Structure 1
Amino acid sequence: MNLTTRIAVIGVGNEFRHDDGVGWAVVARLAERAEEWPLPSGTALLLCDGDPARLITLWEDADLAIVVDAAHAHPGHPGRLHRLELDGGQLSQTGSATSSHGLGLGDAVELARELNRLPGQLVVYAIEEADSSLGTGLSAPVAAIVEPLAERIAEEVALHVGSAGSR
């Protein structure tokens, strides 16, 4: 295992806008899970409101940054998960999901690229939302993805650390 590996798992959103809080819920679940099954050394669980400058600050110098955010999609399927990965400085994705925040991750990626502050690898998990109105609590289809996504991210972190240690 490479002890210098730095991994940032960033939940983006607003827990007071229903499904927009899914990124924060996934990070909270990872923190709970880590009490019993610790994440690899160098893994930081972080929260962000989606501001591009704050995102860049949280992921800079990371070997791997995993961002979890709610997304709008048309037509929408609440709870559907999209995995996007930075490829050649652009986020490659399938489907028509976009961040639920004004500027969005694409703007943060573009700014980070211009400032030479991209992480070594960037993975984004976008969950299609049902309700972003004011209030707390996730809709049932979005809440259902929290546990399996937390498990998937924990596995991805472990695989990344394992592959970094074998280099």
Structure 2
Amino acid sequence: MDVSSAVTQIVVIGVGNDFRRDDGVGWAVVTYLAHRAARQPLPDGTRLIRTDGEPTRLISAWEDARLAIVVDAAHAHPARPGRVHRLRLDADLPQTPRSETNSHGFALGDTIRLARTLDRLPGELLVYAVEAADTSLGTGLSPQVAAAVGPLVQRVEDDIVWYVAAAR
């Protein structure tokens, strides 16, 4: 398989809200990647996007991508703030109770199911969910979530390198 910038399109999507504390982790990862890319460029055809997670914007961001990597905050009970979960689309998505949404108003799993129904999924979808400590109003990540950003950026970069190498 020949890989060129026209063929390989990779998108890293940070979902979040900088004014809901740990909910800004997706945006923090994309911002960190952008700063690192200024020194060490990402492969041609790689886009970095920050979104609030509204379903149509999220689907539009990934629909033409060969690989989409989504980073978002997650709630877990009991929570281990800063713990990162890596999910592949080919794995079964957990069912979201109909009464449950996230801070974006629509659960990411529901957005993925909608995109699947509309045939608007990327070629491959990876989701990194970072367990949040605090999504109340305010700015700044909790210490545990902030500590997860650097290692998560490295994992995302590793996924991109692996994908490009595997596509050659």
The TM-score with structure 2 as length reference comes to: 0.90
Q: What residue identity is the alignment partner of 1:56?
A: I
Q: Cα deviation per residue 1:112-163 (whole Å; 9 max; x = unaligned)?
A: 1111100000000000001111111000000001011001101110110111
Q: CA deviation at 1:65?
A: 0.4
**What's the % identity of the aligned pairs?**
62
Shift, 1:35, TM fit: 1.1
| Contact map agreement 1:69 1:99 (CA 8 A) in 2 | no
1:84 maps to which of 61, 84, 87: 87
Q: CA deviation at 1:100?
A: 4.4
Q: Which residue number in structure 1 is paired with residue 98 of structure 2? A: none
- Computed over aligned residues only, the root mean square deviation of the Cα atoms, in angstroms, reads 1.7
Separation in 1 of the partners of 2:103 and 2:12? 18
1:30 counterpart = 2:8: no
Q: Match of 1:91, as an amino acid?
A: L
- Check the 8 A contact 1:17/1:134 in 2, yes or no: yes
Question: CA–CA distance in 1 between the matches of 2:141 and 2:67?
Answer: 27
User: TM-score, normalised to structure 1's length?
Assistant: 0.91
Displacement of 1:99: 5.1
Q: How does 1:1-150 map to 2 (within 5 A)?
A: 2-3=3-4, 4-87=7-90, 90-91=92-93, 100-150=103-153
Q: 2: distance between equivalents of 1:125 and 1:99?
A: 15
Structure 2 stretches of 5 or more lacking a match? 95-100
The letter of the residue matching 1:131 is D
Which amino acid is 1:63 matched to? R
Post-superposition shift, 1:91?
Answer: 2.9
The AA in structure 1 aligned to 2:147 is A
CA distance in 2, matches of 1:106, 1:39: 28
Counterpart in the other structure of 1:95: none
Q: What amino acid sits opposite 2:21 in the alignment? A: H
Runs of 4+ in 1 over 4 A off after TM superposition: none
Post-superposition CA distance 1:88-120 (Å, at most 9, x none): 6x437xxxxx95433111111111111110000
